[in-house]
Amino acid sequence: MKNYKTRVLLVEDEDVARKTLSFYLNTIFDEVVVACDGQEASNIFKKDFDENKTFDLVLTDLKMPNKDGISMIDDIRELVPNQRFIIVSAHKNEDDLLKLINLRVLGYFVKPLNIDNMMEMLKKAKEEVLADNAALNTHEVLITLNKRYTYDTKTDKLYNQESIVKLSKKELDILKVLIDNLGEVVPVEKFKQDVWNDINTNDSAFRTVMKRLKDKVKDDDFIISHKGYGYIIEKQLKK
């Protein structure tokens, strides 16, 4: 979309690397916000999140003072589980790679950087961002769940009128399963498979998370239980 402004958060503690990366990022993306360590980045991301602003990409080092890259990524994924990341590090550490396997990491670059490869990856990342944004614009972005609650499919945020409802990753995953199957009764087994990746997950584990989620929407609970079958969010009729 021509009017869509791409945003990147750059997290790098080394001055020279930060200036170099910032220069190249600014040649591709519309806005580049810079943080000097993981703690500052977590604070910036949280502040923007609370103001309903998101980053299309986070480019980060791993070994940094105050808070390392892995811990920062964990903070960010609590807010935006599907956040995109590109990693830049002085070393390709096997333990770090294992931790990053299940994250949305588009690339892992080792310093000193190969600028050509980096630029190619950044351009591909921007293409993905714009493609995703175009796809979102062909679908309903805000889903009305009832008179009080709405769900933003672009940012994966649940709103109680104007306020964001803070959800854990598991709570959000359950909600997304329900929204992906809007108007249909979702069996408990599907939640176990899609959220825990294990159909044999203990019933009490599922019930605990579902109860926490329902407690958070108790002002006007839109999750309906069909005893012996599963759960459903009814489709709202458009007026």
Taking phi over 0 as left and psi of -120 to 50 as alpha, with beta for the rest, 66 belongs to left
Are 79 and 67 spatial neighbours (Cβ–Cβ below 8 Å)?
A: no
pLDDT in the model for residue 98:
63
Residue range(s) defining the domain that contains residue 107: 7-137
* 100 and 37 assigned to the same domain: yes
Question: Using DSSP, how many helices (H) and how many strands (E) does the chain show?
Answer: 8, 12
Examine the fold and report which residue of 137, 172, 198 is the final residue of a domain before the chain moves on. 137
pLDDT in the model for residue 3:
72
Cis peptide bond upstream of 65, omega within 30: no
* 147 and 100 assigned to the same domain: no
Are 5 and 103 spatial neighbours (Cβ–Cβ below 8 Å)?
A: no
* 121 and 26 assigned to the same domain: yes
Per-residue pLDDT in tens (0 to 9) along the chain, 239 residues: 447 889 999 999 999 999 999 999 999 999 999 999 999 999 999 999 888 788 999 999 999 999 999 999 989 988 887 889 999 988 776 676 666 666 668 888 888 888 899 899 999 999 988 887 776 665 567 889 999 999 988 788 999 998 999 999 999 999 999 998 988 899 999 999 999 999 999 999 999 999 999 999 999 999 999 988 899 998 775 54
